[in-house]
């Protein structure tokens, strides 16, 4: 076979892929419309197909262009990659690979590197070339991102599932509604649940069959690019969930790709996930390394994604994850850590931070594995942030209690400060907390609607003033009562009703006040950005603490959260600066359907019996308060 028939692909082009060092493998593998030079006919256009199947006896490509009968591919010399160039096969062509196993049986497979695919339940790969031209504003966005400091910036994240945020909308329709809503609500980022091709809608994208293909249920890849561009134009960063921990067993996808365990481990003790019944990647195989690191870079570079949130990191880190004694294989040192997965995560994180200035890597990691957000060169995994699953579990258990019992669980709301600075944390109330019988956020809270919504407003004010960045799943900002159901979509008709509208409007206010108050975000990751005023008032179900900005003397906010239905007309709190303090948030405000009547307005300190500067605060029932120090008014008062 001549080089022309390989579509300009050579064995040398694939050396990096086979050594695990190709971080842009999508440029070589998969289907690409390329031009080749023919000695007699000149330049010819067609599609080059290339697929890694080293243990196959024979490989064919079949599709629209050959009536699905199959054309034989050939091995690229010095490689386990089969390739074929087909003249006049262009964008939009549907295709699959037909692979003959060593035992002579045949299996049809979709392309692991396909950029586009049919809409489920159909699953053929589609030849695709992007024709999207990024607007000049994207260069400005990427430049600002590169110069940004996420650790000292506000980060308020709105997590959503594209298919059910507003049911029936595709990428193009979402352009008209999603950026405007997220900007109006004051969020800084959206986090999209996986948009990679997947056959089962109920998996929400977490069981991926097309790692390089955008979900065709909502449109084509360029329409997704337009949506991302519109979000950036609205000032909204885009976080995308990425799933390198496992993949489904669908017989037409990655599993047993060439008749052998190619992408996964052959030993089920290593290659099968017991919880989900899925395959686990063989992280030690070089070609799998190239596949995964390239996939992470692909979404960041080709779609301008600003951050990847890596799903189920804990399942990757431990060989005995969800496995009983005797059901797992120790590492070479006899330990339970998955050394190959750890190396891969470090490789991916280090490479993306070096290649894409300003990108963030976020770990959904539920254990106490050390150094998740520590740099790779210091022995860490190299993530930028980690979800604080411990804080989430403890705080939700607390608000689910009747107020009379909360005093006995007071420490569940304070314990997170014991380890708050061991990692760079995001505080998540994600989709996982409002499905599968867990109930919506508002229905986690016991008793009547007054208590439900007052408690939820208090909890959100506690969350937004606590050290760490914030993430909230769609629908919880207006108190959706039903559990999230991807088939039904959100209950938007309630967001103008009593309680619901008040909660949503307060969430907008919280985001806007936080953005205008650096003390509430600037030192989220630094211990001297926080101190307790009173962490031990368990009898009153009340917490009070201070947040500090970069200017430790002038940027100070005193925060309170009363999780009791009892008001406190005179509640004294110690503050570090004498002078004037102004109420900047009161969750019992009548604008949010609160009771009102407990406004503090402008307060002036007094000297307590112990000689400390104090404020006498009116604390409403089931409410949160933020009081900001006013250095200008205090200076005038001193005169």
The set of catalytic residues is 311, 364
Q: Give the separation between CA 503 and CA 462, rounded to whole angstroms.
A: 14
Q: Give the separation between CA 462 and CA 465, rounded to whole angstroms.
A: 5
Q: Give the separation between CA 156 and CA 468, rounded to whole angstroms.
A: 10
* Token pair of 439 as six digits: 């109930």
The torsion of the CA quartet 274, 315, 111, 118, rounded to 10 degrees, works out to: 80
Tell me the angle at which helices 449-464 and 500-515 cross, rounded to the nearest 10 degrees. 10
Q: What are phi and psi of 230, to 5 degrees?
A: -65, -40
Q: Give the separation between CA 84 and CA 281, rounded to whole angstroms.
A: 27
* Token pair of 401 as six digits: 């209690």
Q: Give the separation between CA 157 and CA 195, rounded to whole angstroms.
A: 17
Please list, in sequence order, all residues whose beta carbon lies within 8 angstroms of the beta carbon of residue 592, skipping any fewer than 6 positions away.
Answer: 457, 502, 503, 505, 506, 509
Q: Which residues pair with 556 in a beta bridge?
A: 548
| Contact present, 146 and 304 (Cβ < 8 Å) | no
Angle at 491 between CA 487 and CA 496, to 5 degrees: 165
Strand runs labelled E in 322-406:
360-363, 385-387
Alpha-helical runs (H) found in 234-382: 268-271, 286-302, 313-317, 339-355
């Amino acid at each position: 076979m001549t080089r022309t028939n390989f579509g300009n692909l050579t064995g040398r082009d694939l050396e990096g892929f086979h050594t695990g060092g190709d971080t842009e493998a999508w440029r070589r593998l998969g289907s690409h419309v390329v031009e080749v030079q023919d000695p007699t006919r000149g330049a010819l256009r067609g599609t080059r197909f290339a697929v890694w199947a080293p243990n196959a006896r024979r490989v064919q490509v079949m599709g629209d262009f050959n009536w699905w009968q199959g054309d034989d591919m050939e091995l690229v010399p010095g490689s386990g990659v089969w390739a074929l160039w087909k003249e006049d096969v262009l964008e939009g062509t549907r295709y699959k690979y037909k692979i003959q196993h060593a035992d002579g049986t045949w299996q049809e497979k979709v392309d692991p590197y396909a950029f586009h695919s049919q809409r489920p339940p159909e699953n053929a790969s589609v030849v695709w070339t992007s024709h999207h031209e990024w607007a000049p504003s994207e260069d400005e966005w990427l430049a600002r991102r590169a110069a940004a400091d996420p650790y000292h910036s506000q980060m308020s994240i709105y997590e959503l599932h594209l298919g059910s945020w507003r049911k029936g909308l595709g990428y193009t329709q979402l352009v008209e509604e999603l950026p405007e809503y997220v900007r109006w609500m004051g969020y800084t980022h959206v986090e999209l649940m996986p948009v990679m091709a997947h056959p089962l809608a109920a998996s929400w994208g977490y069981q991926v069959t097309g790692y390089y293909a955008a979900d065709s249920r909502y449109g084509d890849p360029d329409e997704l690019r337009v949506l991302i561009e519109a979000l950036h134009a609205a000032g909204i960063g885009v976080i995308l969930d990425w799933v390198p921990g496992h993949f489904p067993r669908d017989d037409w996808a990655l599993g047993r790709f060439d008749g052998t365990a190619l992408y996964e481990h052959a030993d089920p003790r290593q290659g099968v996930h017991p919880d989900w019944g899925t395959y686990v990647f063989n992280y030690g195989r070089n070609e799998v390394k190239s596949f995964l690191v390239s996939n992470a870079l692909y979404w960041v570079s080709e779609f301008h994604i600003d951050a990847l949130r890596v799903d189920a990191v804990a399942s990757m880190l431990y060989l005995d994850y969800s496995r009983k004694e005797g059901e797992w294989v120790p590492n070479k040192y006899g330990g339970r850590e998955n050394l190959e997965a750890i190396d891969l995560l470090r490789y991916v994180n280090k490479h993306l931070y070096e290649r894409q200035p300003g990108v963030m890597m976020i770990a959904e990691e539920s254990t106490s594995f050390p150094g998740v957000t520590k740099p790779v060169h210091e022995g860490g995994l190299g993530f930028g942030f980690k979800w604080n699953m411990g804080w989430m579990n403890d705080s939700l258990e607390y608000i689910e209690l009747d107020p009379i019992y909360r005093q006995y669980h007071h420490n569940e709301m304070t314990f997170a400060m014991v380890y708050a600075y061991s990692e760079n944390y995001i505080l998540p109330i994600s989709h996982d907390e409002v499905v599968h019988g867990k109930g919506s956020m508002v229905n986690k809270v016991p008793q009547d609607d007054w208590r439900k919504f007052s408690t939820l407003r208090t909890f959100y004010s506690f969350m937004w003033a606590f050290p760490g960045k914030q993430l909230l799943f769609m629908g919880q900002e207006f108190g959706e009562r039903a559990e999230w159901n991807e088939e039904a979509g959100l209950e938007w008709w309630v967001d103008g009703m009593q309680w619901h509208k008040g909660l949503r409007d307060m969430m907008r206010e919280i985001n806007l006040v936080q953005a205008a108050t650096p003390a509430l975000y600037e030192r989220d990751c630094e211990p001297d950005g926080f101190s307790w005023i009173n962490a031990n008032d368990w009898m009153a179900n009340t917490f009070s603490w201070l947040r500090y900005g970069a200017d430790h003397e002038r940027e100070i906010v005193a925060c309170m959260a009363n999780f009791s239905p009892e008001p406190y007309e005179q509640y004294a709190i110690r503050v570090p600066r004498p002078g004037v303090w102004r109420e900047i948030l009161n969750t019992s405000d009548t604008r949010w359907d609160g009771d009102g009547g407990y406004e503090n307005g402008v307060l002036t300190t007094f000297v307590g019996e112990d000689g400390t500067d104090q404020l006498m605060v009116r604390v409403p029932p089931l409410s949160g308060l933020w009081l900001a120090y006013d250095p200008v008014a205090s200076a005038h008062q001193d005169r």
